[in-house]
Homo-oligomer: A and B are copies of this chain.
Amino acid sequence: MRELTRAEEEVMQVLWKIRKGFVKDILKHFDEPKPAYNTVSTIIRILQDKGFVDHKAYGRTHEYFPVVSKDEYSKSHLNSFVNDYFSNSFEKMVSFFAREKEISVKEMQEIMKIMEGEVLKQKAMK
């Protein structure tokens, strides 16, 4: 999957949040100082070319929506990251962060509970 540049990513984050919208809707969600209308419009056009968004036309105005979901992009992005920084081992990545104490005991236990649930689900499927 192509990578998003900084500006493109910001537009995508808005679209993922609002699900669909016209350029002016997207613009509303930018913090000050807001970029010019045309700046957002151009980025949207690039995102269309790259296949990240598409639009539905109402006469001359276009309502844009994501074609690539935030989940899909997250997945691809994190997989590359884990590949480049943790020799493709998700396990190494998680344990690195556990050791770095970025996550508290409570959080770790919460994660473990979720993972136990997944383990059971997968076993049940056999």
Q: Check if A119 sits within 8 Å of B115, measured CB to CB.
A: no
A91 touches B103 (CB 8 A): yes
Which secondary structure dominates chain A's binding surface?
helix
Q: Is the CB of A13 within 8 A of B84?
A: yes
- CB within 8 Å of B: which residues of A? 9, 13, 70-71, 73-75, 77-79, 81, 84-86, 90-91, 93-103, 105, 107-112, 114-116, 118-119, 122-123
Chain B residue with Cβ nearest A73: B85
A119 touches B105 (CB 8 A): yes
Please determine whether A114 and B102 come into contact, CB atoms closer than 8 angstroms. no
Bound together, the chains give a CA A70 to CA B98 distance in angstroms of 16
**Residue contact A114 to B91, C-beta cutoff 8 Å:** yes
